[in-house]
């Protein structure tokens, strides 16, 4: 049987603001651990967020560059989950009312033609901290310098059909955010990270297969290898009359294999609700024109 891949990408781009998304702490890469984290970043009781308008301007700028709908009213929400590098116990993000709505991006194919890849949305959210494992025997350290840095999460439609198309899409996205000067997009330092969603289906079918997700892949080459590896893994399972499990997997670039991390979560697992400490962000045509 001939198979067809269905691929969607979620790309996290660190916005090059001078300060973090909801605190006045400097947004600096490479500082000593926990030296660029104030009491809000540490989730001390009683601290309140103050929205960084520069992140909004950068998000609108990106939206205009991809011909997207710009949300005149965007709302922040709490995404609740426990992880050691998330001291508040929730991440502030945008669920139903993102800053950037539907847009598209054109990529060049090998035959010289162009293909439009739809972009579902791009929303502003805060970054988590970072777990450090190398320098601690039998335990992990937490660095909260990155906590609260502004991210733009760019979600594609599942219209990518091969690893090469995925890389072409990422390279185009990389060029756009650098040209707009909203991010340095250096993948090696985590300024641009990619989550890959992959499923396969019989060629010609319109039904979607069961998808898996591989998170935080930080190079074009590894994205290509991870997708090809996952397509082959799912193909082997289905051709052996098995069932693909919906789950999040960790890709090991050295071994070119992936392993299960956890079962795939759904939105209701995160108990989203509107962020009570932030008002909705409202902009008008004059603001968009100025950007």
pLDDT band at 138 (very low <50, low <70, confident <90, very high): confident
**What pLDDT digit, counting tens, does each position of 172-208 carry?**
999 999 999 999 999 988 999 999 999 999 999 999 9
290 within some domain: no
Q: d(Cα 145, Cα 233) in Å, to the nearest integer?
A: 37
Span of 58-67, 156-165, 182-191, 263-272 with lowest mean pLDDT = 263-272
Instruction: Give the mean pLDDT of 124-140.
Output: 88
What residues contact 175, with CB distance under 8 A and at least 6 apart? none
Span of 86-90, 202-206, 257-261 with lowest mean pLDDT = 257-261
Does the structure show a pLDDT above 90 at 227? Answer: yes
280 within some domain: no
Does the structure show a pLDDT above 80 at 266? Answer: no
Strands 150-156, 247-252: pairing is unpaired
Does the structure show a pLDDT above 70 at 230? Answer: yes
- Interaxial angle between packed helices 220-239 and 163-179, expressed in degrees from 0 to 180 and rounded to the nearest 10: 150
Which tokens go with 35? 């030296």
Number of domains in the chain: 1
pLDDT band at 254 (very low <50, low <70, confident <90, very high): confident
* 71 within 8 A of 101, measured Cβ to Cβ: yes
282 within some domain: no
Question: Looking at residue 80, what is its pLDDT?
Answer: 96
Instruction: Give the mean pLDDT of 125-145.
Output: 89
Percent of the chain scoring above 70 in pLDDT:
99
281 within some domain: no
Which tokens go with 60? 């609108």
Question: Looking at residue 264, what is its pLDDT?
Answer: 63
The mean pLDDT of the chain is 94
291 within some domain: no
188 within some domain: yes
Question: Looking at residue 78, what is its pLDDT?
Answer: 98
Question: Looking at residue 1, what is its pLDDT?
Answer: 85
Q: Nearest 5°: CA angle at 192, between 133 and 166? A: 115
Domain carrying residue 102 = 3-272
* Angstrom distances, CA of residue 72 to CA of 120, 228, 283: 17, 39, 5
286 within some domain: no
Burial (Cβ within 10 Å: 0-12, 13-18, ≥19) of residue 133: exposed
Phi, psi (rounded to 5 degrees) for 235: -65, -45
Instruction: Give the mean pLDDT of 228-248.
Output: 95
Instruction: Give the mean pLDDT of 70-83.
Output: 96
What residues contact 182, with CB distance under 8 A and at least 6 apart? 13, 15, 16, 58, 61, 62, 152
Q: Which residue has the higher pLDDT, 105 or 255?
A: 105
Q: How many residues are there in the chain?
A: 291
285 within some domain: no
Q: d(Cα 273, Cα 80) in Å, to the nearest integer?
A: 9
Instruction: Give the mean pLDDT of 36-48.
Output: 94
């Amino acid at each position: 049987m001939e198979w067809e891949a269905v691929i969607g990408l979620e790309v996290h781009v660190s916005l090059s603001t001078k300060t973090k998304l909801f605190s006045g702490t400097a947004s600096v890469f490479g500082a000593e651990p926990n030296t660029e984290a104030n009491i809000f970043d540490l989730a001390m009781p009683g601290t309140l967020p103050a929205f960084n308008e520069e992140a909004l301007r950068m998000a609108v700028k990106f939206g205009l560059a991809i011909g997207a709908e710009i949300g005149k009213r965007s709302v922040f929400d709490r995404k609740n989950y426990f992880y050691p590098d998330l001291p508040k116990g929730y991440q502030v993000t945008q669920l139903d009312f993102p800053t950037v709505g539907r847009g598209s991006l054109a990529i060049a194919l090998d035959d010289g033609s162009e293909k439009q890849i739809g972009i579902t949305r791009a929303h502003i959210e805060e970054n988590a901290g970072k777990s450090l494992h190398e320098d601690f025997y039998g335990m992990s350290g937490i660095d909260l310098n990155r906590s609260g840095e502004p991210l733009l999460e760019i979600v594609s439609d599942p219209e990518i059909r091969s690893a090469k198309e995925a890389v072409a899409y990422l390279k185009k996205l990389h060029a756009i955010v650098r040209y707009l000067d909203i991010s340095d997009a250096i993948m090696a330092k985590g300024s641009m990270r990619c989550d890959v969603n992959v499923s396969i289906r019989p060629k010609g079918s319109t039904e979607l297969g069961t998808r898996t997700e591989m998170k935080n892949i930080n190079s074009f080459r590894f994205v290509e290898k991870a997708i090809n590896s996952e397509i082959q893994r799912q193909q082997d399972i289905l051709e052996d009359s098995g069932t693909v499990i919906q789950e999040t997997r960790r890709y090991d670039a050295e071994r070119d294999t992936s392993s299960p991390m956890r079962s795939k979560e759904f939105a209701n697992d995160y108990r989203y609700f509107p962020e009570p400490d932030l008002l909705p962000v409202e902009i008008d045509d004059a603001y968009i024109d100025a950007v």
